């Protein structure tokens, strides 16, 4: 394998790492927002829940921003085609997502009950909708997206936005919302005590139970779906455009990578085991273990998706031969190499100081302090 092809594969893996980071770190904060109105019955309970993630949500949210930036840098054609194709749902995601920073910051700045209740609804919307969209977007990848290119590589999206909200996509959306709600529950369990922790535990158990069912249903659905097969292309590690390949569709093709490499079955297994593990650890009041098991579940689910689609990243349903793969949509060798360098230096650094931040803010949130501290959310 030459250097360029290796870099492409490395960046495909890093894309997975990034999506996992996004799903775990942003997902748990979103989950807390989504379940806030259920787990917190009084204003103080809700403030405690918000202050559990208060010091970290902003840092966690960078995973989402970095997701956008890294796809732009490493797979510009994906960034360009997917985000413009998914225009209306992208806007839905962005508009609901940007309520979050404002909601965290402004909610407790005013004493009015109506004001705070309105922000709690806003936090619910901005926690629930983006996770559904995130899952639904992935669901659409399996079914292909209606787009094609002209000779300049200008992309044209020919579907309606309602088509993006089809049954399989909604299943994936609900799956991701369940997982994030469960992670949110586990997170609050770890940072709070009393009734609010008890209700969070219920949410976590229900969330994981639903996720297990939905992941299984999704798996059977994918097995019987039309997948994509890359028949002919200029080759891995060769500079190319999506105009020079032949792609066909075949029933059950999304499982061909799993049939070819049995070891890949470990990924969906990790997904199920993580969910089950997190469910049981939450039941037995071990929130930290439950959190890590939840992270394993995300790794399993996203890993399964990536390996099923490989080498496709964004299949086209209207012109399958113009589907985007990791071979035809990545950046040049020099850019990928530079970006890898930056990643190798800065990701460990980020992990290190993020861990320090969590260490500094360790322990349970004290309701009395929330009530008196003017810096608290």
Partner 1 sequence: MHDITVVDLSRLQFAATALYHFLFVPLTLGMTFMLAAMETVYVVTGKVIYKQITQFWGKLFLINFALGVATGLTMEFQFGTNWSFYSSFVGDIFGAPLAIEGLMAFFLESTFVGLMVFGWHRLKPGQHLAVTYLVALGSNLSALWILVANAFMQDPVGAHFNPTTMRMELNDFAALIFSSDAQAKFVHTSIAGYVTAAIFVAGVSAWYMLKNRHMELARRSFRMSVLFGVLSTAGVITLGDALGFVGAEAQPTKLAAMEGLWKTESAPMPFNLMAFPSQENQTNYGEVKVPYVLSILVTHSLTGTVPGVDVLEQRAEERIRGGIPAVSSLKMLSADPKDPVAMNQFTTHQKDLGYGFLVKRYADDVTTATDEQIAQAAKDSIPHVATMFWSFRVMVLLGLGMLAFFVLGLIYTLRNTVQYKRTFLKFAVWMIPAPFLACEAGWLVAEIGRQPWTVYGLLPTWMSASTHSVGYMVFSLIGFVAVYTVFIVIEMYLMVRAIRKGPDDGNGAAELDVGDLSLPASRKTLAEA
Residues between 219 and 258 with contacts to partner 1, criterion CB under 8 A: 239-241, 243-244
Nearer to partner 1, 85 or 268 (CB): 85
Nearer to partner 1, 62 or 273 (CB): 62
Closest separation between CB of residue 64 and partner 1, Å? 7
The correct pick among 12, 57, 134, 291 for binding partner 1 (CB under 8 A) is 57
Query: Quick check: helix, strand or coil at residue 163?
Result: helix
Site for partner 1 in 89-108 (CB under 8 A): 90-91, 94-95, 97-102, 104-106
C-beta separation of 64 from 180 below 8 A = no
311: preceding bond cis by omega (within 30 degrees)? yes
C-beta separation of 225 from 143 below 8 A = yes
C-beta separation of 267 from 307 below 8 A = yes
The correct pick among 38, 79, 168, 272 for binding partner 1 (CB under 8 A) is 79
The correct pick among 16, 55, 159, 219 for binding partner 1 (CB under 8 A) is 55
Closest separation between CB of residue 372 and partner 1, Å? 11
Nearer to partner 1, 167 or 363 (CB): 363
Measured CA to CA, the distance from residue 309 to residue 222 in angstroms comes to 11
Residue 154 within binding range of partner 1, rule CB under 8 A: yes
Residue 156 within binding range of partner 1, rule CB under 8 A: yes
Per-residue tokens: 12: 């495909």
- Where does this chain touch partner 1 (CB under 8 A) — which range of 273-281, 296-304, 312-320, 338-346? 338-346
The correct pick among 3, 153, 229, 246 for binding partner 1 (CB under 8 A) is 153
Residue 360 within binding range of partner 1, rule CB under 8 A: yes
Closest separation between CB of residue 332 and partner 1, Å? 4
The correct pick among 15, 26, 30, 82 for binding partner 1 (CB under 8 A) is 82
Nearer to partner 1, 184 or 227 (CB): 184
Measured CA to CA, the distance from residue 262 to residue 35 in angstroms comes to 38
x-or-dash string of contact with partner 1, 32-51, rule CB under 8 A: -----------x-------x
Residue 323 within binding range of partner 1, rule CB under 8 A: no
Contacts of 336 (CB under 8 A, 6+ apart): 4, 7, 8, 10, 11, 74, 330
Closest separation between CB of residue 121 and partner 1, Å? 14
Helical pair 195-223 and 167-191, crossing angle rounded to 10 deg: 150
Per-residue tokens: 334: 């020099």
DSSP code for 23: I
Q: What angle do CA 74, 90, 38 make, to 5 degrees?
A: 115
Closest separation between CB of residue 277 and partner 1, Å? 28
CA torsion sign, 349 to 352 to 356 to 362? Answer: positive
- Where does this chain touch partner 1 (CB under 8 A) — which range of 67-75, 134-142, 176-184, 189-197? 67-75
Residue 314 within binding range of partner 1, rule CB under 8 A: no
x-or-dash string of contact with partner 1, 113-142, rule CB under 8 A: xx-x--------------------------
C-beta separation of 31 from 183 below 8 A = yes
Nearer to partner 1, 13 or 102 (CB): 102
Place of tokens 């229900």: 206
CA distances from 191 to 48, 186, 200 (A): 9, 9, 11
Residue 26 within binding range of partner 1, rule CB under 8 A: no
Measured CA to CA, the distance from residue 377 to residue 372 in angstroms comes to 11
Contacts of 262 (CB under 8 A, 6+ apart): none
Q: Report H helices in 159-286.
A: 167-191, 195-223, 256-260, 266-283
Size of the site for partner 1 (CB under 8 A): 81
The correct pick among 33, 40, 54, 146 for binding partner 1 (CB under 8 A) is 54
């Amino acid at each position: 394998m030459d250097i360029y092809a290796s870099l492409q594969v490395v960046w495909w893996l890093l894309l997975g790492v990034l999506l996992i980071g996004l799903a775990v770190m942003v997902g748990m904060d979103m989950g807390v927002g989504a379940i806030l109105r259920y787990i917190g019955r009084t204003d103080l309970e809700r403030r405690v829940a918000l202050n559990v993630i208060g010091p970290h949500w902003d840092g966690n949210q960078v995973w989402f921003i970095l997701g956008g930036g890294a796809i732009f840098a490493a797979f510009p054609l994906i960034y360009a085609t997917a985000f413009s194709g998914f225009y209306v749902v992208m806007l839905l995601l962005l508009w609901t997502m940007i309520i979050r920073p404002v909601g965290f910051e402004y909610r407790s700045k005013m004493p009015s009950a109506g004001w705070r209740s309105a922000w709690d609804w806003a936090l619910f919307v901005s926690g629930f909708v983006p996770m559904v969209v995130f899952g639904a977007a992935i669901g659409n990848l399996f079914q292909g997206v209606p787009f094609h290119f002209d000779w300049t590589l200008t992309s044209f999206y020919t579907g309606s936005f309602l088509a993006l909200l089809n049954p399989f996509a909604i299943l994936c959306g609900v799956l991701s919302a369940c997982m994030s709600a469960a992670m949110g529950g586990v997170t609050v369990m770890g940072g709070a005590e009393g009734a609010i922790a008890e209700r969070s535990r219920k949410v976590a158990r229900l969330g994981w139970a639903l996720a297990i069912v939905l992941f299984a249903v999704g798996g059977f659905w994918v097995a019987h779906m039309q997948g994509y097969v890359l028949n002919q292309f200029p080759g891995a590690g060769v500079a190319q455009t999506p105009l020079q390949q032949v792609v066909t569709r075949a029933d059950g093709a999304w499982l061909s990578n799993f049939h070819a490499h049995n070891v890949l079955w470990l990924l969906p297994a990790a997904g199920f085991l993580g969910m089950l593990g997190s469910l049981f650890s939450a039941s037995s009041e071990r929130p930290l273990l439950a959190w890590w098991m939840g992270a394993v579940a995300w790794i399993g689910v996203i890993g399964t998706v990536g390996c099923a689609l490989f080498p496709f990243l964004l299949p086209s349903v209207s012109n399958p031969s113009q589907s985007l793969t990791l071979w035809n949509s990545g950046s040049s060798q020099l850019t990928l190499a530079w970006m890898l360098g930056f990643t190798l230096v800065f990701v460990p650094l980020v992990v290190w100081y993020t861990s320090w931040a969590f260490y500094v803010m360790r322990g349970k949130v004290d309701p009395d302090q929330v009530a008196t501290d003017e810096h608290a959310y």
